[in-house]
Structure 1
Amino acid sequence: MGFPKSNLQTNAELLADAGYDGIEPNLTADGSLWDDKAVNEFADRIDGLGLDVPAISTTLHWEQQLSSADENTRRAGIEAGKRMIEVANTLDAGAVLIVPGVVNEESPYDEAYDRALESVRRLAVVGSQYNIYVCVENVWNDFLLSPLEFAEFIDRASESGPVGAYFDVGNVKRFGHPEQWIRILGERIKRIHVKDYRADVDTIDAFTYPLEGDVEWTAVNKALTNIGYDGWVTAEVPPYRTAPERMPPRVCSDLKHLFP
């Protein structure tokens, strides 16, 4: 989720107080996760709070695109992914969240696909050394737009190491049915992100908190049960603009209602 505070350890304390089981840190360009000492201190703190880490995420791959035609840009994205795997290993996360590529005028779909596949395979090789899943997330990147294509991409990348899906329920609602994606992806799903989506708003503003949009949560929960998924379900929502510290306990309560 979007954390209420800027300090990672403070956010961990807020989430522990709100009743969460874990916290998903985000690797940023100048954040503390690049510092081994800071990561070790964070590991000690969350251990004391009784929190686990489901995965390490990042926003860097929107700029350091793994599908970029520029070799230096791809290399930077791969290095960020490698660092995520190292942090995941230290924090016993078991997975990292990767944005595999971005399709635009400079990066045509077919070329982006080939470069993204090569980059994810390179990260999968590193992930295999640590037993860390490289999880590809479905995002608004004009790429891997169907569950069949998404599944095939994961299967091809998995030839090089542990690759799975970090399935975002809200992201799919724009152009598909989450429960169908879940059924088709099946055991490829290793992590879940949840947020809601208002179908009457066709912009980024359509995203909202669980239970406030048009996602059919009963169908989603049933689909997850049918594929035998019993892993992490992580909220990915922003803090409130006013009194941001009040958001985590409310969302935690709603998640426990949706996924008892």
Structure 2
Amino acid sequence: MRFALNQMGFPNDGLETNAEQLASAGYDGIEPNLTADGPLWDDDAVAAFGDCISTLELEVPAVSTTLHWKQQLSSPDAETREAGIDAGERMIHIADELNAGAILVVPAIVDEETPYDAAYDRALESVRTLAETAAEYDVTVCIENVWNDFLLSPLEFAQFVDEASEAGPVGAYFDVGNVRRFGRPEQWIRILGDRIERVHVKDYDADVDTIHGFTYPLQGDVDWYAVRDALADIGYDGWLTAEVPPYQTAPERMPPQLLDNLQYVFD
């Protein structure tokens, strides 16, 4: 396995500063997020970041974003969907520049304005559009299971990935902690199988039925040995990227402590 940390957990400001700290802690990779006003919109900043991580011998497992929560790929508004596609295409270009090989997208949001069936159809169309672009850059569009009231079973998740893949490279960015609220991660892993291209890790305390139930790996209700065995069963030996916040006190202590726990379980 190779280990990375998503930008959500960075202890400092600045991509390069965090890259240096992760390299010092022993990580293999760093996962940046495309934000509304962040540096990844600037080609020179992306190139500089690429030079930095190359010097540090780090890699980028994927490029992620939070923009698709507002620029929804399933929105009933065509302009909103187009903005989401534009953001996804920018992520593809960044992933190509950084040799990441994958981007992470939230495919849909089911809410009062967007019923489930409409969300499915619009999301499928949007993801297929991104997949066509991704095919030109050897980048995979990875769909993540998040708390968006969408793709609520591994069978449906697999079906969506298969249907979207008809247009280009599409896979699953499987989030272990996101599933634990309503399922068993190890079961999802075996059903999704080789559709899984990337894995996010965090834990979940099932006794706290809100987003505040998320916690650090080994501190919640996920059976991490079962997850390890399931990943081995499907032949997954790729990226494990932690998506957790920094500590409120001494944030620089979180990355090395987290890495030590992940290596204990998976290595």
The higher-RCO structure (CA 8 Å, 6+ apart) is 2
Alignment of 1:215 with 2:222, yes or no, is yes
Are 1:124 and 2:139 matched, yes or no? Answer: no
- Which SS does the other structure have where 2:142 is aligned? strand
Q: Structure 2-normalised TM-score?
A: 0.97
Match of 1:90 among 97, 109, 114: 97
Query: What TM-score does the superposition give when structure 1 sets the normalisation length?
Result: 0.99
C-alpha separation in 1, matches of 2:101 and 2:113: 34
Within 5 A, what are the aligned runs for 1:189-200?
Answer: 189-200=196-207
Q: Distance in 2 between matches of 1:258 and 1:34?
A: 37
For 1:173, which of 180, 190, 197 is the aligned residue?
Answer: 180
Instruction: Give aligned-pair identity as a percent.
Output: 70
Q: How does 1:203-242 map to 2 (within 5 A)?
A: 203-242=210-249
- Out of 122, 139, 156, the residue aligned to residue 149 of structure 1 is 156
Which of 33, 41, 49 is the aligned partner of 1:26?
Answer: 33
SS of match in other structure, 1:134? strand
Counterparts of 1:194 and 1:258, CA distance in 2:
12
Q: Which of 158, 164, 171 is the aligned partner of 1:164?
A: 171
CA distance in 2, matches of 1:240, 1:70: 38
Separation of aligned partners in 1, 2:43 and 2:102: 18
Amino acid at match of 2:63: I
Equivalent runs, 1:241-260 vs 2, <5 Å: 241-260=248-267
1:46 to 30, 48, 53: 53
Q: Which residue of 2 aligns with 1:12?
A: 19
CA distance in 2, matches of 1:36, 1:259: 36
Segments of 5+ residues of structure 1 without an aligned counterpart are none
Query: Gapped runs of 5+ residues in structure 2?
Result: 1-5
| TM-superposed deviation, 1:218 | 0.7
| Counterpart for residue 88 of structure 2 | 81
Distance 1:115 1:6 in 2: 36
Which amino acid in structure 2 is aligned with residue 209 of structure 1?
A: Y
Count of residues in Structure 1 that have an aligned counterpart in Structure 2: 260
Q: 1:69 aligns with which of 76, 85, 97?
A: 76
Q: Which residue of 1 aligns with 2:3?
A: none
After TM superposition, give the deviation of residue 96 of structure 1 in Å: 0.2
Supply the RMSD in Å over aligned alpha carbons: 0.5
**What is the letter of the counterpart of residue 181 of structure 1?**
W
Find runs of 4+ consecutive structure 1 residues off by over 6 angstroms.
none
**Distance apart, 1:184 and its partner CA:** 0.3
Q: Residue 141 of structure 2 corresponds to which residue in structure 1?
A: 134
Rounded to whole Å, the distance in 2 between the matches of 1:70 and 1:112 is: 12
Shift of 1:243: 1.0
